[in-house]
Amino acid sequence: MTTRRRTAILISGRGTNMAALIEAARDPSYPAEIFLVISNIPTAKGLETAAAAGIKSLAVSHKDYLDKSMFEAALSYALNEAKIELICLAGFMRVLSANFVSHWTGRILNIHPSLLPAYRGLDTHKRVLADGMKEHGCTVHFVVSELDAGPIVAQATVPVIDGDTEESLSARVLIAENRLYPEALAKVAKAIAPL
């Protein structure tokens, strides 16, 4: 029997991508199992969703630590305690240090709301509309110390439609994200060795 990679999801907010990963991993043949959800925002709606799905859910607020290295030490403690092998960032809005990221090289994924390498950073939908782009989308990539710059695992494209607002465009991209992330995690979880 093949084992499933023990996976943690880091969130900061509503957690629709997290919920899509949890749902996919309910299938026993899915190659990753979600063992832990951590939010740096204690009031994040995603924490409630994860707890309701029976997943161990923790708030680790960056505000409770003096600096980033202490915050990351708390994250590492929780990840190690749960014997995590793979991390998915899903709307996690803190930038992780090079030290943390290098420890997880090849085992930490992020989903970003643009067709990378275009539109790294924040406000992607607003910038795509301002530039008059006809296509937009989302990317799952490995996390490296440079923001939104790691190797790409999978992408999905959506059209920009005349009259789109930030809200309508982001809603269309989010549907694509929620489909793409479970596919991308499966691909990576199948490919990596157990820790």
Residues assigned a catalytic role: 112
Cis before 117? omega within 30: yes
Cα dist from 124 to 56, 94, 140, 169, whole Å: 31, 17, 15, 10
- 5 or 112: whose CB is closer to ligand GAR? 112
Closer to ligand GAR at the Cβ: 85 or 177?
177
At position 76, the amino acid (one-letter code) is S
Query: How many residues make contact with ligand GAR (CB under 6 A)?
Result: 15
Question: 3-state DSSP call for residue 93?
Answer: coil
Q: What is the x/- site pattern for ligand GAR, positions 65-104, by CB under 6 A?
A: -------------------------xx-------------
Q: Is 84 exposed, middle or buried (0-12, 13-18, 19+ CB in 10 A)?
A: buried
CB of 43 to ligand GAR, least distance (A): 13
CB nearer ligand GAR, residue 115 or residue 194: 115
Cβ-in-10-Å burial (0-12, 13-18, 19+) of 164 comes to middle
Interatomic CA distance for residues 155 and 31, integer angstroms? 20
* Amino acid letter, residue 94: R
Environment class of 69 (CB within 10 Å of its CB; exposed 0-12, middle 13-18, buried 19+): exposed
Binds ligand GAR by CB under 6 A, chosen from 112, 136, 141, 172: 112
Q: Of 7, 16, 40, 49, which one interacts with ligand GAR (CB under 6 A)?
A: 16
Six token digits for residue 137: 């989308």
Site string for ligand GAR, 165-184 (x = CB under 6 A): ---------x--x-------
Q: Of 5, 7, 17, 185, which lies in the binding site for ligand GAR, with binding defined by CB under 6 A? A: 17
Return the residue of 111, 156, 160, 169 that touches ligand GAR, per CB under 6 A.
111
Under the criterion CB under 6 A, does residue 137 sit at the interface with ligand GAR?
A: no
Q: Which stretch binds ligand GAR (CB under 6 A): 15-23, 50-58, 73-81, 156-164?
A: 15-23
Q: Rule CB under 6 A: which residues touch ligand GAR?
A: 11, 13-18, 46, 90-91, 111-113, 174, 177
